[in-house]
Amino acid sequence: MAAPDVPRTPWHTAYPAPTSEVDALPRQELLRWIKEGKMPGKDYVLVDVRRNDFEGGTIRGSVNLPAQSLYPTRPALYTLFASSGVKHVIWYCGKTWMISLDQSRPVRV
C-alpha cells in the first residue's frame, strides 16, 4: 500500500513575508546593458536563485545563490555587494522575478 500524500510546507514559509512591493525591470533593459558592454561583476551582479543553477540554462556571468540560502546570509551578502562597488544587484529565477539593490529598490520582470 502506498504512503498517503502528506502536504509539504513550502521552504519559504520559514521566513518572514516580504514587506515591500517590487518594480518591473524589463528583460530588454538587462539585454541592453549586456549589449552595451556593461560587465557582470563590475557594473552589476546577476544572481541566479534557483537551487539547480544549470537546470534550464543560466545567464553568462551570473552566480548561483539558491533562494533558500538568501535570508540567513543577507548581512554578509549586503556587505559583499556594497563593498564591491557594483551599482546593481539583480536576482532572477525560472519564474522571472528579479530584485535589484539599486538604491535599495527591488525589481521584478
Residue 15 belongs to some domain of the structure = no
Residue 2 belongs to some domain of the structure = no
Residue 55: which CATH number? 3.40.250
- Domain count of the chain? 1
User: Is residue 84 left, alpha or beta, with left meaning phi > 0 and alpha meaning psi from -120 to 50?
Assistant: alpha
Backbone angles phi, psi at 63, to 5 degrees: -115, 155
Give the model's pLDDT for residue 58.
Answer: 75
Contact 102, 25 (CB under 8 A): no
Residue 5 belongs to some domain of the structure = no
Residue 82 belongs to some domain of the structure = yes
Contact 17, 60 (CB under 8 A): no
Q: How many of the other CB atoms lie within 10 Å of CB of 28?
A: 10
Residue 7 belongs to some domain of the structure = no
Total-model pTM: 0.68
Residue 101 banded pLDDT, cuts 50, 70, 90? very low
Which residues span the domain enclosing 45?
Answer: 22-108
